Amino acid sequence: MTHQPQSGARATGQFTHLDEHGHAHMVDVTAKPPTLRIATARCVVVTTSEAIASLDGSPGGIDPIEAARVAGLQGAKATGSLIPLCHPLRLDAISLDIRLNENHLEIVAICQIVERTGVEMEALTACALAALSLVGSLLERDPTAVVEELTLWHKSGGRSGPWQKMTHEDRAGT
Amino acid sequence: MTHQPQSGARATGQFTHLDEHGHAHMVDVTAKPPTLRIATARCVVVTTSEAIASLDGSPGGIDPIEAARVAGLQGAKATGSLIPLCHPLRLDAISLDIRLNENHLEIVAICQIVERTGVEMEALTACALAALSLVGSLLERDPTAVVEELTLWHKSGGRSGPWQKMTHEDRAGT
Amino acid sequence: MTHQPQSGARATGQFTHLDEHGHAHMVDVTAKPPTLRIATARCVVVTTSEAIASLDGSPGGIDPIEAARVAGLQGAKATGSLIPLCHPLRLDAISLDIRLNENHLEIVAICQIVERTGVEMEALTACALAALSLVGSLLERDPTAVVEELTLWHKSGGRSGPWQKMTHEDRAGT
Amino acid sequence: MTHQPQSGARATGQFTHLDEHGHAHMVDVTAKPPTLRIATARCVVVTTSEAIASLDGSPGGIDPIEAARVAGLQGAKATGSLIPLCHPLRLDAISLDIRLNENHLEIVAICQIVERTGVEMEALTACALAALSLVGSLLERDPTAVVEELTLWHKSGGRSGPWQKMTHEDRAGT
Amino acid sequence: MTHQPQSGARATGQFTHLDEHGHAHMVDVTAKPPTLRIATARCVVVTTSEAIASLDGSPGGIDPIEAARVAGLQGAKATGSLIPLCHPLRLDAISLDIRLNENHLEIVAICQIVERTGVEMEALTACALAALSLVGSLLERDPTAVVEELTLWHKSGGRSGPWQKMTHEDRAGT
Amino acid sequence: MTHQPQSGARATGQFTHLDEHGHAHMVDVTAKPPTLRIATARCVVVTTSEAIASLDGSPGGIDPIEAARVAGLQGAKATGSLIPLCHPLRLDAISLDIRLNENHLEIVAICQIVERTGVEMEALTACALAALSLVGSLLERDPTAVVEELTLWHKSGGRSGPWQKMTHEDRAGT
């Protein structure tokens, strides 16, 4: 073994040094008290009315809408393993709603937790995976199906307080 | 980016609507206090005495009983990612015991947690995966091996209090 | 570093030794040609008629039957990561059917692959996870719900040829 | 055990019945020959120029662009476990490119495989997870960051032959 | 079904028996109060200076150092699913630092949590997976690359109090 | 949906550009024929004889040696999801052997596959995870337990042909 081991003094120094410079890759949240956090995210899947009609499913097959809900739910729980900089969390509640419109589907996810960090990414991941699952079911009929407007709509809890996405109406003063 | 956002009034209304109707797909448990929860589950694997004898393992190979214990343990920890409607939990303790009898194996799993929700599904999943792992080791000798009686036997903690499965003796008044 | 490194000669000898004794923990299948393999597994979930009626789901919630189908599907794909001695496989097809009867649910899963090893464990895992998901949905109404008769029913492909579970009628000569 | 076991004849009939009705939940692809499949997907993340400037990363922290690339890569490999109706695949190649523009980021993913089924969903999932990872890094500065235009752009291989998304220029005849 | 069900009395007895003998396979930690736990682990990857120079990456490719950091981070979060006897934890913070020296790379990981059990294994797993990822990037140029000195360096929190690895200098009395 | 799509000319140009520069993040292996690949890796865990004696396990608990074997096996199968730049593979065979010596444990893993890419990383990951699992079992008795010499020992198959690590004896001309 030709590798020259580091002297202990330097090694110990380095660990301290590391702390000093705060090379925290997953941000430290131990100092924050656990509080109730809620986040809402939303997206749409734009497609054709024919493709949406096909989502009713063939008899005996899995319902594509239900499969997408489950994909969203399981995605929300897996957020920490899917997104490198996210903390692993044990969500206390998830709501995932899919609405069929004439030429698009609308997905809204709400996540809740009593924790030291927020659940914005969990709500966004739930929407994204539900949308991907729907696109997978639409793809044979409509390879041009597109996911749009995937964004956070609302959050509450934590130091920064509640936040709500401003809309055109809000900005116009109504 | 010229994308036309949805009007805020409708969008906000929809989210509220969602809340009103309580479309909670993974039930909200944030209002419950964390308490000690314990659950016990059990199942049997019915097979032949020859197949059970073969579980001693070939020298050098992995012990099928130990592999099944690990499968059960890891399954219990993965319950939230395997069962869509289950909360993700960080179990505080798991016991998994496998007993060899003449023509069947008996599996008992006990899970514990200090949490807002119970661990019944974790104990059942531990039993099921240990049983599947055993069936996998038995299959070449006995393709008719069958998992029976996979059920909850006991739980305590939480609002509903302790519960114990009634047995034939209990029902007979002994 | 006080650890005494092993001499190369002994180390090389050990690897050969390992080969000689065939300590294959996940059995070697490289010599087998890929062929079409099919396996069918089945189980039942025994419960009360009231609990089965409750599976219709609350409006807006996820359908428990659909969630169980997805749990079974995803479980079949995850078999290699759930069962230590199973090969990781990329299944070519999965069918999972759930039937509601008066006081029990019946689950049948069929898996297919063109591969060097069979898919019996994938079909059994699909059934087990669908059953666990259903039990999770039934548990509040019926904590005595029990999974029974989880077993292989049919397999074809591979060296050993087709196999079918004998039933009472078969044994009686009808 | 009061459950009345099904007679073998009916049980066998049911399995055949299942086959007849083709309740294939993950579509059977065993009859297709493996061919080279390529798919390209793309999306954008719309945000502010200040937020994009912050992606250069703090010294010592993980580079958010590199983290997003890895998230996309790992997401592509996990597609089968994230999307219920997708086959599990072992991708032969993945390219994932992220471009920084003044007020948006552009993500392009290309997946390749020699297989019986296409990789459209893998390319879309790679884009979606890279986008989610970027949004996670942008969220503190810009909670309004939004993922747009997540869609398939090109695919080749398989029975249906090559397909390319038509653009405005294509439609206008240029 | 010829299996002879166990009488309830014996079954109940067995569960108690199990408790008495404390067959806890994942140690029970419910009685411990949650406290701040910190653990530091470290390892080196010994290789050639030419191979280290190649880690700068080809233009457009993923940076191997960043990929290794992400592998370490994700590995730390997955410790409970990778190591059978480890509790599943939701880490509050992870730092992972990689230093390039002339003929070796040094990896230091620090994990933090407010929990009932320590994070030593999480810090070690972070180092191991970052090291494996680096070896994977080095392998084409240097198949002899070797991971050395993977060990715990420091821990604090919990009943046993702080602990620090003694170094050569410590032992020499400096 | 009034969203303004990007012009096709620029988008198409970008995809071609991407191809030209070969931004392949997971290297393309579609052009290689599948051949039999074998790789052997090895490491040691250095500890005290007292700690090694404690690995016999408490009666009723899981055998730490068997748990480590399973951790190694499952780690090898998960390599593609743990190491960003690794292809996902479906291993055809894994051997994992652990030997107890007076003050160290020796781990040897052999992986086999018929595939377009090698299994060196799978063998190394098997060793690393078995070693981590053992360290986890040793940690209470010996927090100084250290993993050493984790490296590739042998590989065969593929374009570059067989390769064997040179040992001291080899170098000395014996």
Nearest-angstrom CA–CA distance, C76 and C96: 10
Which of A6, A115, A119 to probe by mutation at the E interface, max E CB count within 10 Å? Answer: A6
Which of A1, A103, A148 lies at the smallest CB-CB distance from F3? Answer: A148
How does C117-152 read in b/e, with b if 16+ C-beta sit within 10 Å? bbbbbbbbbbbbbbbbbbbbbbbeebbbbbbbbbbb
Where does residue A57 fall: left (phi above 0), alpha (psi -120 to 50 degrees), or beta otherwise? left
Above 60 in pLDDT, residue D8?
no
Burial class of residue D10 (count of CB atoms within 10 Å of its CB; 0-12, 13-18, 19+): exposed
Weakest-pLDDT range from B22-31, B58-67, E27-36, F58-67:
B22-31
Which of C1, C4, C7, C15 to probe by mutation at the F interface, max F CB count within 10 Å? Answer: C15
Convert the pLDDT of each residue in F137-174 to its tens digit: 999 999 999 999 999 999 999 877 899 998 766 767 64
Above 90 in pLDDT, residue D4?
no
E79 with A81: CB under 8 angstroms?
no
Q: How would DSSP label each residue in D71-111?
A: HHHHHHHTHHHHSTTSPP---SEEEEEEEE-SSEEEEEEEE
Residues of C in contact with B158 (CB under 8 A): none
Burial class of residue C14 (count of CB atoms within 10 Å of its CB; 0-12, 13-18, 19+): middle
Are F3 and A44 within 8 A, CB to CB? no
Q: How confident is the prediction for chain D on average, in pLDDT?
A: 83
C1 with A5: CB under 8 angstroms?
yes
Higher pLDDT, E144 or C14: E144
Q: How far is CA A2 from the centre of its chain?
A: 47
Q: Report CA-CA distances (Å) from C87 to C57, C71, C81, C118, F92.
A: 37, 20, 9, 9, 7
- Give the number of C-alpha atoms closer than 13 A to the C-alpha of residue E87, restricted to the C-beta side: 23
| Residue whose structure tokens are 């107890």 | F100
Residues of F in contact with A146 (CB under 8 A): 3
Which of D43, D70, D143 lies at the smallest CB-CB distance from A163? Answer: D143
- pLDDT score, position C144: 97
A4 touches chain C (CB under 8 A): no
Q: Which of E103, E99, E120, E102 is nearest to E111 (CA)?
A: E120
Residues of A in contact with D131 (CB under 8 A): 128, 150
Nearest-angstrom CA–CA distance, D59 and F128: 30
Q: How would DSSP label each residue in chain F?
A: ----PPPHHHHHHHHHHHHHTT-EEE---TTSPPEEEEEEEEEEEE--HHHHHHTT--TTSPPHHHHHHHHHHHHHHTHHHHSTTSPP---SEEEEEEEE-SSEEEEEEEEEEEESS--HHHHHHHHHHHHHHHHHHHTTT-TT-EEEEEEEEEEE-STT--EE---HHHHTT-
Residues of chain A with pLDDT under 70: 1-25, 57-60, 168-169, 171, 173-174
Above 50 in pLDDT, residue D128?
yes
ipTM: 0.85
Weakest-pLDDT range from B56-70, C152-166, D82-96, F124-138:
B56-70
Above 80 in pLDDT, residue F93?
yes
Nearest-angstrom CA–CA distance, F133 and B153: 32
Above 50 in pLDDT, residue F8?
no
Convert the pLDDT of each residue in E112-155 to its tens digit: 999 888 999 999 999 999 999 999 999 999 999 999 999 999 99
Above 60 in pLDDT, residue F73?
yes
D25 with C95: CB under 8 angstroms?
yes
Structure-block tokens of residue F162: 């067989």
Nearest-angstrom CA–CA distance, A96 and A129: 11
Neighbors of chain F by Cβ distance (3+ pairs < 8 Å) = A, B, C, D, E
Nearest-angstrom CA–CA distance, F141 and F83: 31
Q: Which of B68, B35, B42, B34 is nearest to B123 (CA)?
A: B42
Q: How many other CB atoms are found less than 10 A from the CB of residue F171?
A: 9
A156 with B15: CB under 8 angstroms?
no
- pLDDT score, position A9: 27
Q: Which of B146, B134, D88 is nearest to C115 (CA)?
A: D88
Which C residues, 17 through 56, put their C-beta within 8 Å of a C-beta on chain B?
21-25, 43
Q: How would DSSP label each residue in E27-40?
A: ---TTSPPEEEEEE
Q: How confident is the prediction for chain E on average, in pLDDT?
A: 83
Residue type, C152: L
- pLDDT score, position F116: 86
Convert the pLDDT of each residue in B74-106 to its tens digit: 999 999 999 999 999 989 999 999 999 999 999
Which of F6, F14, F84 lies at the smallest CB-CB distance from D73? Answer: F84
- pLDDT score, position A105: 97
Above 70 in pLDDT, residue C59?
no
- The three-state secondary structure class of B69 is helix
Mean pLDDT across C44-57: 91
Which of E62, E81, E95, E108 to probe by mutation at the D interface, max D CB count within 10 Å? Answer: E62
Instruction: Using pLDDT thresholds of 50, 70 and 90, give the confidence band for residue F7.
Output: very low
What is the C-alpha end-to-end distance of chain A, expressed in Å? 74
Above 90 in pLDDT, residue C161?
no
Q: Which of D151, F6, D143 is nearest to A151 (CA)?
A: D143
Show Cβ contacts of residue D110 under 8 Å, excluding neighbours closer than 6 positions: D38, D39, D40, D93, D94, D95, D96, D123, F15, F18, F19
Q: Which of E46, E45, E107, F139 is nearest to A15 (CA)?
A: E107
Minimum Cα–Cα distance from A149: chain F residue: F3
Residues of D in contact with B3 (CB under 8 A): 46, 148
Which of A5, A60, A62 lies at the smallest CB-CB distance from C70? Answer: A62
Residues of D in contact with C103 (CB under 8 A): 3
Which E residues, 96 through 155, put their C-beta within 8 Å of a C-beta on chain A?
96-97, 99, 103-104, 106, 108, 110, 112-114, 148-149, 153-154
Are B167 and E2 within 8 A, CB to CB? no
Mean pLDDT across B44-72: 89
- pLDDT score, position A171: 67
Mean pLDDT across B40-56: 95
Higher pLDDT, F173 or F88: F88
CA angle, A12 then F151 then A15, to 5°: 10
D153 with D164: CB under 8 angstroms?
yes
What is the C-alpha end-to-end distance of chain E, expressed in Å? 74
Residues of C in contact with B109 (CB under 8 A): none
E102 with E49: CB under 8 angstroms?
yes
Above 70 in pLDDT, residue D161?
yes
- pLDDT score, position F158: 81
Instruction: Using pLDDT thresholds of 50, 70 and 90, give the confidence band for residue E160.
Output: confident
Convert the pLDDT of each residue in D78-108 to its tens digit: 999 999 999 999 899 999 999 999 999 999 9
Structure-block tokens of residue A58: 């063939």
Mean pLDDT across D46-74: 89
Mean pLDDT across D55-68: 82
Mean pLDDT across E32-53: 94
Residues of A in contact with C97 (CB under 8 A): 60
Q: Which of C119, C135, C170, C163 is nearest to C64 (CA)?
A: C135
Are E121 and F136 within 8 A, CB to CB? yes
- pLDDT score, position E12: 29
- pLDDT score, position A109: 97
Neighbors of chain E by Cβ distance (3+ pairs < 8 Å) = A, B, D, F
Supply the pTM of this predicted model.
Answer: 0.88
- pLDDT score, position B32: 76
Q: Cα torsion at B53, B59, B65, B68 (round to 10°)?
A: -130
Q: How far is CA C98 from the centre of its chain?
A: 16
- pLDDT score, position C13: 27
Structure-block tokens of residue A39: 């986040």
Q: Which of C131, A86, E168, C55 is nearest to B127 (CA)?
A: C131
- 3-state DSSP helix/strand/coil % of chain A, to nearest 5: 35, 30, 40
Q: How many other CB atoms are found less than 10 A from the CB of residue C49?
A: 13
Q: How many other CB atoms are found less than 10 A from the CB of residue A107?
A: 27
